[in-house]
Amino acid sequence: MTERTNKPGKLTSVKGMNDILPQDASLWQFFEDTVKTMLSAYGYQNIRTPIVEHTSLFTRGIGEVTDIVEKEIYSFVDSLNGEKLTMRPENTAAVVRAVIEHNLLYDGPKRLWYMGPMFRHERPQRGRYRQFHQVGVEALGFAGPDADAEIILMCQRLWDALGLTTGLRLELNSLGNAQERAAHRHELISYLECHIELLDHNAKRRLYTNPLRVLDTKNPAMLDISVHMPKLIDFLGDTSRAHFEGVQRLLTANKILFTINPRLVRGLDYYNLTVFEWVTDKLGAQGTIAGGGRYDSLIKQLGGKPAPACGWALGIERILELLRENQRVPPNAVCDVYVVYSGGNVVCERAFIIAEQLRDTGINVILHCSTNGVPSSFKSQMRRANASGAAYAVILGNDEVQRNEVLIKALRLNPTNINGSQKRMQTEHLNEFLMNAIVRSSSNT
Ligand code: ATP
Ligand code: MG
Report pLDDT for 237.
Answer: 97
Verify that 271 and 378 share a domain, yes or no: no
Any idea of the CA torsion for 33, 412, 334, 355, to the nearest 10 degrees?
-120
Angle between helices 345-360 and 430-444 (to 10 degrees): 50
The C-alpha atoms of residue 231 and residue 269 are separated, in whole angstroms, by 17
Q: What is the CATH number of the domain that holds 347?
A: 3.40.50.800
- Let me know if residue 98 belongs to a domain: yes
- Do the beta carbons of residue 298 and residue 61 sit within 8 Å? yes
pLDDT at 2 over 50: no
DSSP 17: B
pLDDT-derived band of residue 3, with 50, 70 and 90 as boundaries?
very low
Give yes or no for residue 288 CB within 6 A of ligand 1: yes
Verify that 391 and 270 share a domain, yes or no: no
- Mean pLDDT for 127-145 is 98
CA of 126 to the centre of ligand 2 (A): 13
In the chain, the number of structural domains is: 2
- Let me know if residue 216 belongs to a domain: no
Give the ligand 1 atom nearest the CA of 67: 7
- Mean pLDDT for 124-139 is 97
- Let me know if residue 188 belongs to a domain: no
Report pLDDT for 328.
Answer: 84
- Let me know if residue 254 belongs to a domain: yes
pLDDT-derived band of residue 212, with 50, 70 and 90 as boundaries?
confident
Over the range 425-445, which residues count as b (16 or more CB within 10 Å of their CB) and which as e? eebeebeebbeebbeebeeee
- Mean pLDDT for 21-31 is 93
**Which segments of 136-253 does DSSP mark as H helices, in order?**
145-162, 178-194, 201-206, 212-215, 220-227, 238-253
Give yes or no for residue 286 CB within 6 A of ligand 1: yes
Show which of 325, 358, 385 is a domain's final residue: 325
Q: What is the CATH number of the domain that holds 93?
A: 3.30.930.10
The C-alpha atoms of residue 297 and residue 177 are separated, in whole angstroms, by 10
Residues spanned by the domain of 354: 337-444
Verify that 384 and 426 share a domain, yes or no: yes
More confidently predicted of 439 and 187: 187
Q: Closest Cα partner for 353 from 396, 383, 320, 398?
A: 396
Q: Closest Cα partner for 315 from 284, 291, 282?
A: 291
Give yes or no for residue 368 CB within 6 A of ligand 1: no
CA of 290 to the centre of ligand 1 (A): 7
Ordered strands of the 84-87 beta sheet: 52-54, 84-87, 74-77
Encode pLDDT of 308-358 as tens digits. 999 999 999 999 999 999 888 887 777 999 999 999 999 999 999 999 999
- Mean pLDDT for 275-294 is 94
Mutation test residue for ligand 1: of 66, 202, 213, 318, the one with most atoms within 8 Å of CB: 318
Give yes or no for residue 270 CB within 6 A of ligand 1: no
- Let me know if residue 195 belongs to a domain: no
- Let me know if residue 418 belongs to a domain: yes
pLDDT-derived band of residue 4, with 50, 70 and 90 as boundaries?
very low
The C-alpha atoms of residue 100 and residue 201 are separated, in whole angstroms, by 39
Give yes or no for residue 90 CB within 6 A of ligand 1: yes
Verify that 274 and 355 share a domain, yes or no: no
Report pLDDT for 443.
Answer: 56
How many other CB atoms sit within 10 Å of the CB of residue 255?
7
Phi, psi for residue 15 in degrees, rounded to 5: -50, 130
Give the ligand 1 atom nearest the CA of 288: 18
CA of 245 to the centre of ligand 1 (A): 27
Give the ligand 1 atom nearest the CA of 127: 29
Q: Which ligand is nearest to the CA of 16?
A: 1
Verify that 285 and 344 share a domain, yes or no: no
SS3 content of the chain, % helix, strand, coil (to 5): 40, 20, 40
Show which of 276, 294, 325 is a domain's final residue: 325
Verify that 266 and 287 share a domain, yes or no: yes
Maximum distance among all Cα pairs of the chain, rounded to whole angstroms: 94
Report pLDDT for 214.
Answer: 79
Report pLDDT for 413.
Answer: 60
Encode pLDDT of 360-416 as tens digits. 999 999 999 988 888 889 999 999 999 988 999 999 999 999 999 999 999 986 545
Mutation test residue for ligand 1: of 122, 286, 294, the one with most atoms within 8 Å of CB: 286
Give yes or no for residue 315 CB within 6 A of ligand 1: yes
Which residue(s) pair with 132 in the sheet?
118
Verify that 96 and 145 share a domain, yes or no: yes
- Do the beta carbons of residue 273 and residue 174 sit within 8 Å? yes
Give the pairing of strands 288-294 and 272-280. Answer: antiparallel
pLDDT at 269 over 80: no
Verify that 315 and 397 share a domain, yes or no: no
pLDDT-derived band of residue 439, with 50, 70 and 90 as boundaries?
confident
Task: Take atom 7 of ligand 1 and give the residue whose Cα is closest.
Answer: 267
pLDDT at 441 over 70: no
Show which of 297, 325, 353 is a domain's final residue: 325
Verify that 254 and 401 share a domain, yes or no: no
- Let me know if residue 193 belongs to a domain: no
CA of 82 to the centre of ligand 1 (A): 30
Verify that 167 and 261 share a domain, yes or no: yes
Which residue(s) pair with 408 in the sheet?
394, 423
Task: Take atom 22 of ligand 1 and give the residue whose Cα is closest.
Answer: 315
Any idea how long the chain is?
Answer: 445
The C-alpha atoms of residue 33 and residue 145 are separated, in whole angstroms, by 28
Verify that 350 and 414 share a domain, yes or no: yes
**Which segments of 18-175 does DSSP mark as H helices, in order?**
25-41, 55-61, 67, 92-101, 145-162
How many other CB atoms sit within 10 Å of the CB of residue 229?
20
Verify that 259 and 394 share a domain, yes or no: no
pLDDT at 18 over 50: yes
- Mean pLDDT for 41-63 is 95
Q: Which ligand is nearest to the CA of 132?
A: 1
- Do the beta carbons of residue 16 and residue 129 sit within 8 Å? yes
Mean pLDDT of the chain: 91
- Let me know if residue 5 belongs to a domain: no
pTM value is 0.90
